Every structure is written in C-alpha cells, then in structure tokens.
C-alpha cells in the first residue's frame, strides 16, 4: 500500500462537480488534512475528475479516488481507490452489482491499491441516499449491527457512517464504534466546525469534511483538522 491510510484522522472530500480556485485548493492541500478524496455521487466525469486531480497534485498529500460507478475507477495520478458498497440498500447493484461489472470489464485492476468501504447511508435526502434508495430509518443498535456485519462477517477494512449533507446522531456513531474493533470507522456528514469535528472524532477513527470547504472555506477546514490532531 502506498500510504498509511489506517492512521488517518482527518480526510477532506472534494467534489469534481464543484469548482475551487487554486488558492483555496492549495490551502486545503496544506491544511494538515491526512488525505484528499476525490468523490461525488452525481455528475462526476473523466474530464472533471482529471481537472480536480491536476489541481490537488504535487502538494505531497495522499490522493484517493472514491468512484460512484465503474467508469470513475481511475488510478492515474492518485495513490488509491476507496470503493464503496452500500449495505443498507434493497438494491444489490450498490452492494456488489456494479463491482461485478467492473471486474468483468477490467482485467487489470491493481488490487493492492483498492480499499473496500462498507457504507451505511443515513441521510435519505442526500444524493447517495436517493440514488441507492438507502433505508435510513435505523436505530443506533440497527446501525451497529450493520457495522458488525461489515467487519466481522464481510471483513471490510473501512466502515463508513455517511450522513452526507447533514450532521448525524453522535449516539449512532458511538454505537457503531462500540461494535467495531479492527475496521477503521469513518464518519462523514455536516462537519463544519471544530466542535462537531471533535464530537464525532471521539467515536470515529477518521472524520470526513466535504461541503464545509465549499460553504465555509479553508479556515473552517483548518479548524476541523486542528480539532482532531
């Protein structure tokens, strides 16, 4: 593996579908965040992915692509691919179907650079919640049981509590953290302050900050980094 991803505390998620000036990209890349994920559910194209990758390259921060579709599984110029499976969807395409098509059509996947992620999607209004028709009305115990399946049964290396676009319930993340021992527990959704970063980082191993970069800027991102490192 190219980087020590298991020790990351803070990850920044940038969306190829949104624009940032290079000065802001530079502040993000030098903020102390442990890695930059290039990721979005909707409107990610080879072109806008390559454009964003060029903007973030060259700062020494690890780069990860998180594809929403096999066509987004591009390794050029990045260190790793984090590939989601959504566990709480009734539609198996998002669990293993797209993955089967990926393996069918690409005979040369560099597996040593692939890290599977078990997503538990909890905001039904998010793009990822709508697209996957995730069943989000779950108690902390029910979420923790998905986390247990992900780790103990499927041996996913990452369990990802995803509230994309909204701040989640710390009790849910706490319950998942009590279940997970070996997997790295990710939390993402609505972190837009040092306080929220610190609160979720009590339970999650790695926190993800996305929209706050676009909505509040690099200063807020730096405050979230400082809160967890």
Ligand X SMILES: CC(C)=CCC/C(C)=C/CC/C(C)=C/CC/C(C)=C/COP(=O)(O)OP(=O)(O)O
Binding-site residues for sn-glycerol 1-phosphate, please?
A: 13, 160-165, 190, 210-211
- The residues binding ligand X (CB under 6 A) are 15, 39-42, 66-70, 73, 83-86, 94, 98-99, 102, 126-128, 131-132, 162, 164-165
Residue from 164, 177, 206, 220 in contact with ligand 1GP (CB under 6 A): 164
For residue 83, the partner it binds in ligand X, ligand 1GP, none, with Cβ less than 5 to 8 A by kind, is ligand X
Can you spell out the DSSP letters for the chain? --S-GGG--EEEEE-TTS---HHHHHHHHTTT-SEEEEE-SSS--HHHHHHHHHHHTTSS--EEEE-SSGGG---TT-SEEEEEEESS-S-GGGTTHHHHHHHHH-TT--GGGEEEEEEEE--TTSHHHHHHT------HHHHHHHHHIIIIIT--SEEEEE-TTS---HHHHHHHHHH-SSSEEEEES---SHHHHHHHHTT-SEEEE-HHHHHT-HHHHHHHHHHH-
**Closer of 35 and 191 to ligand 1GP (Cβ):** 191
For residue 175, the partner it binds in ligand X, ligand 1GP, none, with Cβ less than 5 to 8 A by kind, is none
Site residues (CB under 6 A) for ligand 1GP, limited to 181-220: 188-191, 208-212
**Closer of 31 and 126 to ligand X (Cβ):** 126
Binding site for ligand 1GP (CB under 6 A): 13, 162, 164-165, 188-191, 208-212
């Amino acid at each position: 593996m190219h980087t020590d991803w298991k020790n990351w505390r803070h990850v920044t998620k940038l969306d190829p579908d949104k624009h940032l000036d290079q000065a802001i990209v530079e502040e993000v890349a030098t903020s102390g965040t442990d890695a930059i994920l290039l990721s979005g559910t909707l409107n990610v194209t080879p072109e806008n992915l390559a454009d964003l990758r060029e903007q973030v390259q060259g700062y020494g921060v690890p780069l990860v692509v998180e594809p929403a579709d096999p066509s987004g599984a591009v390794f050029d110029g990045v260190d790793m691919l984090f590939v989601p499976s959504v566990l709480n969807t009734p539609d198996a395409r998002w669990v293993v179907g797209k993955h089967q098509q990926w393996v069918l059509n690409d005979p040369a996947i560099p597996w040593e650079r692939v890290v599977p992620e078990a997503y538990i999607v909890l905001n039904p209004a998010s793009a990822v919640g709508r697209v996957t028709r995730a069943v989000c009305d779950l108690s902390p115990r029910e979420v923790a049981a998905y986390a247990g399946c992900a780790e103990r049964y499927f041996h996913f290396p990452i369990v990802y509590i995803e509230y994309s676009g909204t701040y989640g319930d710390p009790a849910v993340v706490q319950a998942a953290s009590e279940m997970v021992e070996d997997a790295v527990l990710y939390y993402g959704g609505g972190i837009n302050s040092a306080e929220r970063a610190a609160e979720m980082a009590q339970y999650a191993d790695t926190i993800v900050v996305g929209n706050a970069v676009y909505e509040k800027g690099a200063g807020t991102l730096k405050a979230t980094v400082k809160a967890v490192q």
